[in-house]
Amino acid sequence: MEILQYSLRKLIAGIPLVLGVTLISFLLIVYFGPDKTYDLLGKNPTAEEIAEVRSQLGYDRPFVPRYLEYLHEVITFDFGNSESTDEKVSTILSRTIPVSIALALPGFILGNVLGVMFALLAAYFRGRWIDKFIMGFAAIGMSISFLIAIIGFQILLSSSDGLDLFPVRGWDTSTPLQYLRYVTVPTLATVFIALGYNTRFYRAVIVEEMTRDHVRTAKAFGTPPARLFYRNILKNSMIPIVTRIVFSIPFIVISGSLLLESYFGIPGIGKVTYDAIITGDQPVLKAVVALTAILFVVAQLLTDICYRAVDPRVSLK
Amino acid sequence: MVRAVATCQTWVSLALLLVPLVACSPGENAVAKAVPGQKAFRYSLDSAPTSLDPVRASTLYANQIVVNLYDTLYAYKYLQRPYELKPLLAEAMPDISADGLVYTIRLKQGVHFIDDIAFPDGRGREVIADDFVYSLQRHFDPATRPGGTWLWQGRIEGLDDWKKTGSDYAQPVSGLRALDRYTVQIKLTKPYPQLVDTLAQGFSGIVPHEAVEHYGREFSVNPVGSGPFHLVSYDTTKAVLLPNPAFRQEPVDLVFEGYNSDTQGQYGIDIIEGRSPPFLDRLEIAFIKEGSARWSSFTKDNEIQYAGLPNEQVNRVLASTVPVILKPEYAERYHMRSALEAGFVFSAFNMDFPEFGYNENPVREQRNHALRCAIIKGFDWRSRNDSWYSNLGVIFPGVIPPAVPEYDTTLSAASVSYDPEGARTLLAANNWNAENLPVLVYGTTPGPTSRLFYEQFRAWMKRIGYPPENIQLKTYATFGDIAKAWRNSELPLISKGWGLDYPDAENTLQLFYGPNGSPGSNDGNYNNPEYDDMFRQASVMQPSPERTALYRHMNRLIINDCAAITGLSRRGIALWHKNVIALPDRNFVGGRFLKYVDIVQPES
Amino acid sequence: MSTMNTSAVSGIDGHGDSLWLKAARKFKRDRVGMWALFGVFIYAVIALGVVFGFWGGAWADVTGPKWAPVSAEYWFGTNIIGQDIFARALYSTRTAFEVGLLVAIGATALGAVFGAVAGFFSGTWIDEIIIWVMGVLDSVPFILLVAAIAYSLGGSPWAMHIAMIATFWIGTARLVRGEVIKLKTLEYVEAAHAIGLGKVKIIFRHILPNTFHILLVQATISFVAAIKSEVILSFLGLGVKDGMSWGLMISESTFEVLAGFFNNFIAASVLMFGLVMAFNMFSDALQDALDPRSVK
What are the structural domains of chain A?
89-291 (1.10.3720.10)
CB contacts, 8 Å: A140 with chain C: 277
Q: Hey, are the CB atoms on C148 and A16 less than 8 Å from each other?
A: no
The mean pLDDT of A151-159, rounded to a whole number, is 84
pLDDT digits over C252-282, tens only? 887 787 777 889 888 998 999 899 889 888 8
Q: Which of A193, A255, A108, A100 is nearest to C138 (CA)?
A: A255
pLDDT at A92: 92
Which of A95-99, B34-38, B98-102, C274-278 has the highest mean predicted lDDT (pLDDT)?
B98-102
Q: Which of B145, B118, B126 is nearest to B71 (CA)?
A: B126
Within a domain: C82: no
Within a domain: B168: yes
Range scoring the smallest mean pLDDT among A120-134, B202-216, C3-17? C3-17
Helical segments of B276-419, H only = 291-298, 314-317, 328-331, 362-377, 381-389
pLDDT at B286: 94
Task: Say if residue C242's pLDDT is above 80.
Answer: no
pLDDT at B581: 95
pLDDT at A311: 65
How much is the pTM? 0.86
Total count of domains within chain C: 1
The mean pLDDT of C217-242, rounded to a whole number, is 84
The mean pLDDT of B64-81, rounded to a whole number, is 96
Q: Does residue B145 sit at the A interface (CB-CB below 8 Å)?
A: yes
Q: Which of residues 36-65 of A touch C (CB under 8 A)?
A: none
Tell me the C-alpha distance between B307 and B302, whole Å: 14
Task: Say if residue B2's pLDDT is above 50.
Answer: no
Tell me the C-alpha distance between A225 and C182, whole Å: 33
How many residue contacts between B and C have a Cβ separation below 8 Å?
A: 78
pLDDT at B408: 94
The mean pLDDT of B410-428, rounded to a whole number, is 95
Within a domain: C28: yes
Range scoring the smallest mean pLDDT among A132-141, B436-445, B544-553, C43-52? A132-141
CB contacts, 8 Å: B479 with chain A: 39
The mean pLDDT of A28-39, rounded to a whole number, is 82
Q: Are C160 and C148 in contact (CB under 8 A)?
A: no
Within a domain: C272: yes
Mutate to test the interface with A, among C3, C142, C144, C287 (most CBs of A within 10 A): C144
pLDDT at A201: 85
Confidence of residue C287 (pLDDT cuts 50, 70, 90): confident
Measure C151 CA to nearest chain B CA, in Å: 7
Task: Say if residue B343's pLDDT is above 80.
Answer: yes
pLDDT at A138: 87
Within a domain: B489: yes
Phi, psi of A3 (to 5 degrees): -65, -40
Among candidates A34, A127, A293 on the partner chain, residue whose Cβ is nearest the Cβ of C139 = A293
Within a domain: B459: yes
Confidence of residue A254 (pLDDT cuts 50, 70, 90): low
Given its phi and psi angles, is residue C154 left (phi above 0), alpha (psi -120 to 50 degrees) or beta? Answer: left
- Using CB atoms, list chains with 3+ pairs below 8 Å to chain A: B, C
Q: How far is CA A84 from the centre of its chain?
A: 25
Q: Does residue C272 sit at the A interface (CB-CB below 8 Å)?
A: yes
Among candidates A45, A53, A169 on the partner chain, residue whose Cβ is nearest the Cβ of B293 = A169
The mean pLDDT of B240-245, rounded to a whole number, is 96
Within a domain: C69: no
Q: Hey, are the CB atoms on C232 and A146 less than 8 Å from each other?
A: yes
Q: Which of C264, C277, C275 is nearest to C86 (CA)?
A: C264
Q: Hey, are the CB atoms on A265 and B8 less than 8 Å from each other?
A: no
How many residue contacts between A and B have a Cβ separation below 8 Å?
A: 197
B298-332 in b/e burial notation, b at 16+ Cβ within 10 A?
A: bbbeebbbbbbbbbbbbeebbeebeebebeeebee
How high is the mean pLDDT of chain B?
Answer: 90
Among candidates B292, B388, B459 on the partner chain, residue whose Cβ is nearest the Cβ of C254 = B292
Q: Hey, are the CB atoms on A25 and C149 less than 8 Å from each other?
A: no
Total count of domains within chain B: 2
Q: Hey, are the CB atoms on C255 and B291 less than 8 Å from each other?
A: yes
CB contacts, 8 Å: C258 with chain B: 291-292, 295-296, 310, 312-313
State the amino acid at position C239 in one-letter form: G
Give residues with Cβ within 8 angstroms of B191, minimum separation 6. B99, B100, B101, B540, B541, B542
Within a domain: C63: no
Q: How far is CA A75 from the centre of its chain?
A: 23
Provide the 8-state DSSP code for B443: E
The mean pLDDT of A84-96, rounded to a whole number, is 91
Measure B8 CA to nearest chain A CA, in Å: 6
Q: For residue B367, give the CATH number of its domain.
A: 3.10.105.10
Last residue of a domain, one of B181, B214, B247: B214
Residue B564's SS3 state is: strand
- Using CB atoms, list chains with 3+ pairs below 8 Å to chain C: A, B
Q: Which of residues 267-286 of A touch C (CB under 8 A)?
A: 273-274, 277-278, 285
Q: Does residue C295 sit at the A interface (CB-CB below 8 Å)?
A: yes
As a whole-number percent, the residues of chain B with pLDDT over 70 amount to 94
pLDDT at B233: 92
pLDDT at C154: 64
As a whole-number percent, the residues of chain B with pLDDT over 90 amount to 81
The mean pLDDT of B403-414, rounded to a whole number, is 92
State the amino acid at position C68 in one-letter form: A
Residue A309's SS3 state is: helix
Confidence of residue B596 (pLDDT cuts 50, 70, 90): very high
The mean pLDDT of A280-294, rounded to a whole number, is 89
Confidence of residue A252 (pLDDT cuts 50, 70, 90): low
Q: Does residue A15 sit at the C interface (CB-CB below 8 Å)?
A: no
Mutate to test the interface with C, among B311, B452, B464 (most CBs of C within 10 A): B452
The mean pLDDT of A196-207, rounded to a whole number, is 85
Q: Hey, are the CB atoms on A151 and C228 less than 8 Å from each other?
A: no
How high is the mean pLDDT of chain A?
Answer: 84
Measure A155 CA to nearest chain B CA, in Å: 8
Instruction: Give the count of beta carbons closer than 10 Å to the beta carbon of residue C282.
Output: 25
Task: Say if residue C146's pLDDT is above 60.
Answer: yes
Q: For residue C130, give the CATH number of its domain.
A: 1.10.3720.10
pLDDT at B58: 87
Within a domain: B576: no
- Give the chain B residue nearest A163 (alpha carbons): B300
How high is the mean pLDDT of chain C?
Answer: 83
CB contacts, 8 Å: C261 with chain B: 312
- Look up the domain containing C205 and give its range: 21-52+89-290
Measure A21 CA to nearest chain B CA, in Å: 23
pLDDT digits over C107-144, tens only? 999 999 999 999 999 889 999 999 899 988 888 877 77
pLDDT digits over B253-277, tens only? 999 999 999 999 999 999 999 999 9
Q: Does residue A275 sit at the B interface (CB-CB below 8 Å)?
A: yes
- Using CB atoms, list chains with 3+ pairs below 8 Å to chain B: A, C
Q: For residue B205, give the CATH number of its domain.
A: 3.90.76.10
The mean pLDDT of A88-98, rounded to a whole number, is 91
- Look up the domain containing B114 and give its range: 80-214
Task: Say if residue B3's pLDDT is above 80.
Answer: no
Task: Say if residue C2's pLDDT is above 50.
Answer: no
- Give the chain A residue nearest C229 (alpha carbons): A145
pLDDT digits over C154-181, tens only? 667 788 898 899 889 998 998 899 889 8
Q: Does residue B290 sit at the A interface (CB-CB below 8 Å)?
A: yes
Task: Say if residue A236's pLDDT is above 70.
Answer: yes
Confidence of residue B19 (pLDDT cuts 50, 70, 90): very low
